[in-house]
Amino acid sequence: MKRALLICTAVFLGCATLRAQTAPPTEPVRIQIDPNTLLAPISDDFIGLGYETSALAREGFFSAKNTHLVQLYRTLSPHGLVRIGGSVSDHTRFVQDGAPLVRSEKETSVINQAVLDEFGDFLRATGWKAMWGLNLGTGSKDEAVQEAVAVHRALGDRLQSFEIGNEVDLLPRFHSYEAYHAVYTDYKAAMRKALPEAAFSGPDVAGNIQWALDFAGTECADMKLLTHHYYRTGARRPEATIETLLAPDPAWKATLQRLQQACAGKGIRFRINEVNSFYGGGKPGVSDTFASALWCLDYMFLLASYGCEGVNLETDVNQMAWVSHYSPIFRDTAGQLSARPEYYGMLAFAIAGRGNLVKLTASETDLNLSAYATKSSEGPFWAAIVNKDLSRQANVEITLPEGCSRAEAYRLTAPSVESRDQVTLAGAQVSAEGVWSSGSGETIAVILGVASLQLPASGAILVRLIQSR
């Protein structure tokens, strides 16, 4: 006899990886949505991208005149958040009228006022804001203040907050949180003299959850967001496979729970502001395939289910000075931009990941399947279902909430989980100009208030539940 699986629990808050050992693969997964039980709000700027600071040194890239990049941003969201920082931020100098230089973390990158001004214009063209990371690794306090003033001058109201240092728990100069925090407060005080209204986020740790929890305790009265990073594993490790990427990560869920609890106790929010599949630039044949789209869509909903404020997917030039395999927006050697599979995962979230997560329950199955439900302020209900099982189709039955009579589906598909192109969302691709649009969704049969659909192995679907008129 089957037991019902409640996808709203203290741990999962509106999502679950649906796993059990007894459900036959052909048995339907039955989903019910309670639209009146709101679980967690999804912030308007949840969607974000992240860059090494050296990306700013590429003149003409972050520019309002780069209409292709502007459109790719606006296609995702009219008001997202860019994070500028990464390992290179600890090896970057601001030189007012210097020549911009793109270098790896083993050298020194240079940015100037002109590229900062250009970046400000880019942000205003997209409607996005920026979180800016300052050099704590090789620079001085005075240099950080000078850079912060220049950034503020260029970005104005497009500046969301500053961060002081990148992955501070890995910097050799700090052997304890207390040593780091003493330097942090010294830098912050100096910056506040020049910019009294400056906002700060942090501590931007690579993985030391205790440092993040300590920062929440010492800085909760004076922070914009608590920040943390995530990669599943290293790109050069043998376990960096599609199977690993799509498998659940219990340790990370435990970390999210601790972050959620710490923030709830302090009245603050957290953001995973540097994340992608595998650190070290990603792995070709994994990070640039359709698997990354499935991972990305599921991962973004997972974060939202823990009350996370948002996510910044790493993209473009990395700390080794080449464009990463995991980059959702890829730039080739000729400078041409294209939307990689991961971009489509972000786009799918942009459609269904709005408003509030709502309570959802499902029957048990041994498929590697995740399900989420949302309700937007505009009225529509959405169910997002991600089948990360590599070999088995999912048969799904959704009981429509009261007041809904029809269902439309928008499928995220590709020829195979290993596909690097031919990815579509609702049958449409992102155009060469960065535009995505689709017609009406696929009509789903509804019988006695139940919508039935099939979801192939390695596929995802967004189901719009339409209210009766």
Q: For the segment 233-254, what is each residue's pLDDT rounded down to a tens digit?
A: 999 999 999 999 999 999 999 9
Predicted local distance difference test score (pLDDT) of residue 3: 33
- The answer to whether residue 21 scores a pLDDT higher than 70 is no
Least reliable range by pLDDT among 6-10, 116-120, 413-417: 6-10
List of domains in the chain: 4-41+354-467 (2.60.40.1180), 47-352 (3.20.20.80)
- The whole-angstrom separation of Cα 170 and Cα 211 is 11
**For 370, phi and psi rounded to 5 degrees?**
-125, 145
Distances 153 to 114, 193, 370, 409 between C-alpha atoms, Å: 11, 15, 44, 46
Q: Write down the pTM of the prediction.
A: 0.94
Q: How confident is the model at residue 139 (pLDDT cuts 50, 70, 90)?
A: very high
Query: With pLDDT > 90 as the criterion, what percentage of the chain qualifies?
Result: 89
Give the CA diameter of the chain. Answer: 73
Predicted local distance difference test score (pLDDT) of residue 1: 35
- The whole-angstrom separation of Cα 188 and Cα 190 is 5
Q: How confident is the model at residue 329 (pLDDT cuts 50, 70, 90)?
A: very high
Q: In sequence order, what are the beta bridge partners of 85? A: 52
Q: What is the mean pLDDT of residues 195-213?
A: 98
CB distance 188 to 218 below 8 Å: no
Q: Is beta strand 450-455 parallel, antiparallel or unpaired with respect to 446-447?
A: antiparallel
Predicted local distance difference test score (pLDDT) of residue 26: 60
Express each pLDDT in 54-112 by its tens digit: 999 998 999 999 999 999 999 999 999 999 999 999 999 999 999 999 999 999 999 99
Q: How confident is the model at residue 438 (pLDDT cuts 50, 70, 90)?
A: confident
Q: How confident is the model at residue 439 (pLDDT cuts 50, 70, 90)?
A: confident
Q: What does the mean pLDDT of the chain come to? A: 93
Predicted local distance difference test score (pLDDT) of residue 442: 93
Q: What is the mean pLDDT of residues 329-342?
A: 95
